[in-house]
Each structure stands twice: as structure tokens, then as C-alpha cells.
């Protein structure tokens, strides 16, 4: 995509949704990506190497896998050999730099597509390193797998859902006809008693705290944000990887946090 076209897309993302914001919310922090180069190190860190889910990529800190240009963060997956891995990509996060507790977290992004693609916007408890997963809690604001390109998923993970995933409604999805050709706003509104998930202001899932099911709630503590583009894996690669899709680009226009 030529730079001037990308800039146009990023600008378009800002305008029509601005008027839809809940006027009761106050902007507390934002990352607009209005600079050039590596993601701001005061906000973003990286996962590196092999991390999880039998994924096929090696996560790097390299600029070719995550850079900021023309008003967008661009996470790019390449087909290239690193050690025993055949792909590289990036997963950036705010752990130890920026944390979130309740309020509204929203991300304007244009996702990639293709068999093997697995972009995500998600959160985990800042205590993950001490209590582990899923005890830390996980909030999946947006996931998409390339073999089902039009479907956007929102999901919650807790110790209870790992042991008995069918006990509560913890996931839902919606179809977007232009899921990978246009920018969309993916958001969660985090309250003391529920998590509400939105795609372009449309509520797609309300996950509620139930005092009778304490193992299904781990959201009374701060979380950090992750933006990543996985390749393959237990879910994203369950129908294989199409090597013709690379390089694969995931654009993020902005991240905003309201309280």
C-alpha cells in the first residue's frame, strides 16, 4: 500500500466515529502513533521468541516487524527463517509501562487476512508472572483467524472457564463484510460487575460477574494491553498456513483509554 493511501485510511478512521463516543467518558490516555520509527519505548515493550499456542512465528524487536509510519503502527509478519521458525512477527505490550483498570479501552485497527493469520487485541492481568494464566484473567477484545476472515471474536478467559468453559457465556462473534479492507473500532467497557465488548459501537458481548461463580471473574485488578499478529497456532493454523499471503500487515491507527 502506498504511504499516501495509508494516511488517508488512518484519517478516515478518526472522523465518523468521533461523534459516537459516550459523552460520560473522559479521555485519560491515548497513543495516536503520530511519529515515525519504533513504537514509543515509554509505552510499549515486546514479547520475543516463541511464546504460546503452538504458533509458527518467532516474535522479534525488529523494525521490519513493528514500526510506526504515516500515523499508524504497522505489525508485519514475514516468511523468513529464524532458528527453527519459518516466520517472524511482532507482539507489543504495555506491561510495566501502562496499565488499565476499568473504563473503556478502544483500538482502531485494520486487520490482515489469509489462512494462517491470527491478529489480536487483548489484555492480561499485570500479576501474570506471579499467578500464571488463566488466574491472571484474560480479556480478548478482538481476535480473527484468517480461514474465517469476516468473523470477529470477543472472549474472556478465567480459571473457571478453563475448567468448565460451557458454564457461562464468555464469548461471541460478529461478521464484518469489510473486516480486512477497512478500519474498525474494537472496544471493551470494563465495569465493576461486567465487561461489555463492542465492534464499531455495536455491543456484541456482555460478560457479567456472578458472586455464585467466583472462579469466573478475575477483573478486580489492573491489566495490560497486547497487540500482536500470530501466524498459525492451535487456532489460527488449524486449517494450515497460506504462504502466498506474506508479508502480512496489521495496521493500528490509535489506542484510547477513557474513565
Contact between residue 138 and residue 121 where contact means Cβ atoms under 8 Å apart: no
**Among 199, 197, 135, which Cα is nearest to 171's?**
197
- What is the model's pLDDT at position 22? 55
**Among 230, 225, 235, 226, which Cα is nearest to 58's?**
230
Three-state DSSP class for 13?
helix
Helix extents (H) in the chain: 3-18, 128-131, 159-163
**Among 78, 39, 180, which Cα is nearest to 119's?**
180
The CA distance from 142 to 184, in Å, is: 11
- What is the model's pLDDT at position 110? 98
- What is the model's pLDDT at position 47? 98
- What is the model's pLDDT at position 24? 79
Q: Which residues pair with 89 in a beta bridge?
A: 59
Q: Could you read off the pLDDT tens digit of each residue along the chain, which spans 259 residues? A: 333 334 444 544 544 444 344 567 899 999 999 999 999 999 999 999 999 999 999 999 999 999 999 999 999 999 999 999 999 999 999 999 999 999 999 999 999 999 999 999 999 999 999 999 999 999 999 999 999 999 999 999 999 999 999 899 999 999 999 989 999 999 999 999 999 999 999 999 999 999 999 999 999 999 999 999 999 999 999 999 999 999 999 999 999 999 9
Catalytic residue list: 138, 143
163 — alpha (psi -120 to 50), left (phi > 0) or beta? alpha
Contact between residue 34 and residue 64 where contact means Cβ atoms under 8 Å apart: no
Widest pairwise Cα distance in the chain: 54
Amino acid at each position: 500500500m502506498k504511504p499516501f493511501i495509508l494516511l488517508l485510511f488512518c484519517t478516515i478512521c478518526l472522523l465518523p466515529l468521533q461523534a459516537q463516543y459516550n459523552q460520560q467518558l473522559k479521555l485519560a490516555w491515548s497513543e495516536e502513533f503520530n511519529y515515525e520509527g519504533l513504537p514509543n519505548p515509554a509505552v510499549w515493550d515486546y514479547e520475543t521468541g516463541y511464546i504460546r499456542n503452538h504458533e509458527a512465528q518467532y516474535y522479534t524487536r525488529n523494525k521490519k516487524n513493528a514500526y510506526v509510519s504515516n500515523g499508524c503502527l504497522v505489525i508485519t509478519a514475514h516468511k523468513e527463517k529464524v532458528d527453527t521458525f519459518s516466520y517472524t512477527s511482532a507482539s507489543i505490550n504495555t506491561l510495566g509501562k501502562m496499565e488499565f483498570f476499568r473504563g473503556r479501552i478502544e483500538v482502531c485497527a485494520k486487520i490482515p487476512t489469509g489462512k494462517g493469520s491470527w491478529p489480536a487485541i487483548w489484555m492480561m492481568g499485570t500479576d501474570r508472572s506471579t499467578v500464571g494464566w488463566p488466574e491472571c484473567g484474560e480479556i480478548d477484545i478482538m481476535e480473527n483467524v484468517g480461514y474465517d476472515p469476516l468473523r470477529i471474536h470477543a472472549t474472556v478467559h478465567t480459571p473457571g472457564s478453563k475448567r468448565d468453559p460451557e458454564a457461562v457465556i464468555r464469548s461471541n462473534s460478529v461478521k464484518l463484510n469489510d473486516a480486512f479492507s477497512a478500519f474498525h473500532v474494537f472496544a471493551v467497557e470494563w465495569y465493576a460487575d461486567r465487561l461489555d465488548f463492542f465492534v464499531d459501537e455495536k455491543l456484541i458481548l456482555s460478560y457479567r460477574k456472578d458472586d455464585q461463580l467466583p472462579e469466573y471473574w478475575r477483573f478486580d485488578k489492573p491489566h495490560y494491553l497486547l497487540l500482536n499478529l500470530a501466524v498459525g497456532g492451535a487456532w489460527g493454523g488449524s486449517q494450515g498456513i497460506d504462504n502466498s499471503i506474506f508479508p502480512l500487515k496489521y495496521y493500528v491507527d490509535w489506542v484510547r483509554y477513557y474513565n
